[in-house]
């Protein structure tokens, strides 16, 4: 009887982690969403890379200039939404 409980308890324990999203993916998704909503800049996920709370953008110079001009606002919004202490964009 005890053996029956072990697999189900392990299964229920592991099910908690099934829906966890990696933090870098969350940052990327929210960043792309904010750019689209606020500045009408559409970026594909492959144009954005996040490493150690640093967002790297690969896009046209015009788009990148708009993003960097509004960098402080974007960073503050993302930090507040994701409860981060450090975030950088380049």
The residue ranges of every structural domain in the chain are: 25-89
pLDDT attached to residue 21: 67
pTM: 0.76
pLDDT tens across 54-69, in order?
999 999 999 999 999 9
pLDDT attached to residue 7: 60
pLDDT tier at 10, thresholds 50, 70, 90: confident
- What's the rounded Cα separation, in Å, for the pair 66 and 57? 12
Angle at 70 between CA 66 and CA 72, to 5 degrees: 150
- What's the rounded Cα separation, in Å, for the pair 45 and 26? 11
pLDDT tens across 35-57, in order?
999 999 999 999 999 998 999 99
């Amino acid at each position: 009887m005890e053996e029956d409980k072990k697999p189900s308890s392990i299964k229920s324990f592991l099910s908690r982690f099934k829906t966890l999203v990696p933090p870098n993916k969350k940052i990327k998704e929210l960043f792309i969403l904010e750019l689209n909503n606020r500045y009408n800049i559409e970026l594909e996920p492959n144009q954005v890379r996040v490493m150690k709370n640093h967002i790297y953008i690969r896009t046209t110079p015009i788009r990148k200039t708009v993003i960097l001009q509004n960098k402080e606002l974007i960073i503050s919004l993302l930090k507040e939404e994701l409860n981060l202490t450090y975030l950088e964009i380049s």
